[in-house]
């Protein structure tokens, strides 16, 4: 119910902005802090745009220019933002469990903007919104997630959320980068990419996250031929299927460069939808 509520609010903001209607300033006089301890473009700036559209003031934290470089503890840094009167802290951190450890320690609300290899819930919500916008329903859909699933927080959040919505999920990619069989939920199964693209409504591609594990040894060309989307596989797609990717995209690896803006691609639409979904998340906190 909460997921559907946020998706409905995302649609509201999407229509509101497309129709150039006056936006409700539900976050007027609120202060939002973007506290990113890992690099980010889409998530960080879409949260900033979302917050500003709702009337909030935004602080953008830069670790390299902070007192952390002088030896200040991370806890004291967060206490500083609390003391400054921050209402919502949007936090990305490389530690899987760092976000959970903040519960009830601070006065501000916390949004998980990406936790290690564990979860990325706001990305999942914008992905779900993109899918629902396309198909109007989740009933009888098949979603394929392809790539470095073992290291992907996006994949983990989407597998969980899609399961709650009754969606069948196909997992595919290099064997070393797939979860163990005992870790795969009942609504998921492992298949080859060629098998998946023929029957899927959504093909979601993931990059190899070299920063989260030892180097995966496979050339760019070989990876795309075996596990990527190319001209051959695009022709195998159902005519109403869509291509998705959370970004950043490694062109010509997980997807051939000229297919990023293919007529069935929704990669840049996902980025646009990130603003609407994150507006809905920020709104939901105060609803």
**Whether pLDDT at 140 is above 80:** yes
Q: Give tens-digit pLDDT for 259-269.
A: 999 999 999 99
Average pLDDT value for residue range 118-139: 97
**Whether pLDDT at 271 is above 90:** yes
**Whether pLDDT at 217 is above 80:** no
Q: Which pair of structure tokens corresponds to residue 127?
A: 């992905």
pLDDT of residue 220: 77
pLDDT category of residue 131 using cuts at 50, 70 and 90: very high
The strand pair at 57-60 and 142-146 is best described as unpaired
**Rounded (10°) CA dihedral 124, 98, 92, 39:** -120
Within its chain, how far is the Cα of 59 from the centroid? 22
pLDDT of residue 212: 53
Q: Which pair of structure tokens corresponds to residue 94?
A: 């490389």
pLDDT of residue 208: 84
Burial class (CB in 10 A: 0-12, 13-18, 19+), 83: exposed
Cα separations (Å) of 244 from 130, 247, 254, 255? Answer: 9, 9, 11, 10
Q: Give tens-digit pLDDT for 146-173.
A: 999 998 999 999 999 999 999 999 999 9
Listed in sequence order, the residues at least 6 apart from 250 whose beta carbon sits closer than 8 Å to its beta carbon are 207, 208
Residue 38 CB coordination number (10 Å): 15
- The reply to whether the predicted model has a pTM over 0.75 is yes
**Whether pLDDT at 101 is above 90:** no
Q: Which pair of structure tokens corresponds to residue 118?
A: 């564990």
**Whether pLDDT at 213 is above 70:** no
The overall average pLDDT reported for the chain is 94
**Whether pLDDT at 210 is above 80:** no
pLDDT category of residue 225 using cuts at 50, 70 and 90: very high
Residue 59 CB coordination number (10 Å): 15
pLDDT category of residue 134 using cuts at 50, 70 and 90: very high
Q: Give tens-digit pLDDT for 189-205.
A: 999 999 999 999 999 99
Q: Which pair of structure tokens corresponds to residue 101?
A: 């450890």
Q: Give tens-digit pLDDT for 245-260.
A: 999 999 999 999 999 9
- Of 74-88, 129-143, 218-232, the least confident: 218-232
């Amino acid at each position: 119910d909460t997921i559907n509520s946020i998706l409905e609010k995302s649609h509201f903001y999407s229509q509101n902005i497309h129709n150039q209607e006056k936006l409700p300033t539900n976050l007027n006089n609120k202060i939002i802090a973007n506290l990113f301890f890992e690099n980010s473009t889409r998530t960080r700036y879409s949260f900033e745009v979302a917050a500003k559209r709702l009337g909030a003031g935004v602080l953008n934290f830069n670790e390299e220019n902070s007192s952390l470089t002088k030896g200040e503890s991370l806890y004291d840094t967060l206490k500083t933002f609390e003391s400054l009167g921050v209402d919502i802290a949007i936090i990305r951190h490389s530690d899987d469990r760092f976000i959970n450890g903040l519960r009830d320690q601070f006065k501000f609300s916390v949004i998980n903007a990406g936790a290690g290899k564990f979860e990325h819930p706001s990305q999942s919500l914008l992905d779900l919104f993109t899918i629902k916008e396309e198909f109007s329903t989740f009933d009888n859909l098949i979603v394929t997630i392809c790539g470095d699933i073992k290291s992907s927080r996006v994949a983990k959040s989407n597998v969980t959320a899609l399961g709650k919505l009754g969606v069948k999920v196909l997992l595919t990619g290099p064997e070393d980068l797939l979860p163990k069989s005992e870790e795969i939920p009942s609504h998921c199964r492992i298949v080859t990419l060629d098998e998946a693209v023929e029957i899927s409504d959504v093909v979601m591609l993931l990059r190899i996250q070299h920063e989260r594990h030892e180097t995966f040894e496979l050339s760019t060309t070989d990876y795309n031929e075996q596990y990527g989307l190319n001209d051959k596989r695009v022709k195998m797609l159902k005519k109403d299927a869509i291509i998705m990717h959370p970004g950043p995209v490694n062109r010509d690896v997980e997807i051939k460069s000229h297919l990023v803006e293919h007529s069935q691609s929704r990669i840049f639409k996902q980025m646009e939808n990130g603003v609407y979904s994150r507006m809905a998340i920020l709104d939901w906190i105060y609803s």
